[in-house]
């Protein structure tokens, strides 16, 4: 099985931790880089090949990961010279990729079974599979319901449960066939195009542990929780 890890972002929201290090190499629990954890998990899930889409401080990622042999994987690289959106880097890789493959962000901490996501994607026949997680979203304002310029209901700073993308996808190569390499392609654009063409993505609902390490408070939480969850996160890895 083949995975593509998107690791080219500048990690602006996670500064100052990412001033000298690319976000995927920020250490968790003072022991393991995020990317190391992900690669170990992928290998344990049966992945044998990984392509790292790198950009900002990419040479540091190359030096750290090398050829991937220390995790029992074959790793190659694709360099993003300018920002291309979430899915844009895949377009120049299209001919190097198998018929079905995994795509994921390089800054997430989860006990998701990546291999099962790809297997379920193949079985679904869908053009795209999105791993989803139920997240409680807090709104920091009073929410009004109006009707004919009259306020008919009011809720003070409510919370909403919604399904969000985990940043992990099963993707089929043919899904990218109509897009031009070198041009930006966002995740939102791809999903809307699929919906508008009558080819809805498949949802892989997950209720285990997931943390997107995008901001300093997320990083602090990851460090606080890693020790107690290490055996779960690195099970078999």
pLDDT tens per residue across span 77-93:
998 877 788 899 999 99
Collect the ranges in the chain with pLDDT lower than 50: none
Query: Which of 222, 10, 228 is CA-nearest to residue 110?
Result: 222
pLDDT at residue 156 in the model? 92
Task: Quote the pLDDT of residue 132.
Answer: 97
Distance CA 45, CA 110 (A): 13
CA atoms of 51 and 132, how far apart (whole Å):
23
Cα gap 185→173, rounded to integer Å: 15
Q: 136, 117, 141, 111: which is closest to 235 by C-alpha?
A: 111
Kindly state the helix (H) or strand (E) to which residue 225 belongs, with its residue range.
Answer: helix 216-233
Distance CA 135, CA 80 (A): 31
Q: Give me the pLDDT at residue 17, please.
A: 58
How far apart, in Å, are the Cα atoms of 91 and each of 144, 174, 177, 191?
43, 11, 8, 15
Task: Report which of 44, 41, 48 is spatially closest to residue 1, judged by C-alpha positions.
Answer: 48
Which domains occur in the chain, in start order? Answer: 2-131+163-233 (3.90.550.10)
Rounded to whole angstroms, how far apart are CA atoms 35 and 231? 17
Report yes or no: 170 and 117 within 8 Å, Cβ to Cβ: yes
Instruction: Kindly state the tokens that stand for 64.
Output: 């750290």
- Contact status, residue 167 vs residue 91, Cβ threshold 8 Å: no
Helices (H), 33-171: 34-44, 58-65, 88-91, 114-124
DSSP 110: E
What is the reported pLDDT for 13?
58
Q: Cβ(26)–Cβ(34) under 8 Å?
A: yes
pLDDT per residue as tens digits for the range 109-161: 999 999 999 999 999 999 999 999 998 888 889 999 999 999 999 999 988 88
The verdict on pTM exceeding 0.75 is yes
- Tell me if 50 sits within 8 A of 75, measured CB to CB: yes
Percent of the chain with pLDDT over 70: 94
Q: What pLDDT, on the 0 to 100 scale, is given for residue 18?
A: 58
């Amino acid at each position: 099985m083949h995975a593509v890890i998107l690791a080219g972002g500048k990690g602006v929201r996670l500064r100052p931790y990412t001033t000298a290090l690319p976000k995927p190499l920020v250490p968790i629990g003072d022991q393991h880089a995020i990317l190391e954890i992900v690669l170990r998990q992928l290998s344990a899930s049966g992945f044998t090949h990984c392509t790292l889409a790198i950009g900002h401080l990419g040479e540091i990622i190359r030096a750290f990961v090398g050829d991937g042999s220390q995790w029992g994987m074959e790793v190659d690289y694709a360099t993003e010279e300018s920002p291309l959106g979430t899915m844009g880097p895949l377009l120049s890789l299209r001919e190097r990729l198998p018929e079905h493959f995994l795509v994921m962000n390089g800054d997430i901490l989860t006990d998701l079974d990546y291999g099962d996501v790809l297997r379920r994607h193949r079985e679904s026949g869908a053009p795209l599979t999105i791993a989803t997680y139920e997240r409680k979203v807090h709104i920091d304002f009073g929410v009004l319901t109006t009707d004919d310029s009259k306020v008919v209901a009011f809720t003070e700073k409510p919370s909403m449960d919604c399904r969000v993308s985990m940043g992990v996808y099963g993707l089929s190569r043919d899904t990218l066939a109509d897009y031009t390499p070198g041009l930006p392609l966002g995740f939102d654009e791809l999903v809307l195009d699929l919906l508008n063409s009558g080819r809805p993505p498949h949802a892989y609902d997950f209720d285990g542990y997931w943390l997107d390490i995008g901001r300093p408070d997320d990083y602090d939480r990851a460090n606080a929780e890693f020790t107690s969850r290490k055996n779960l996160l690195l099970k078999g890895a």
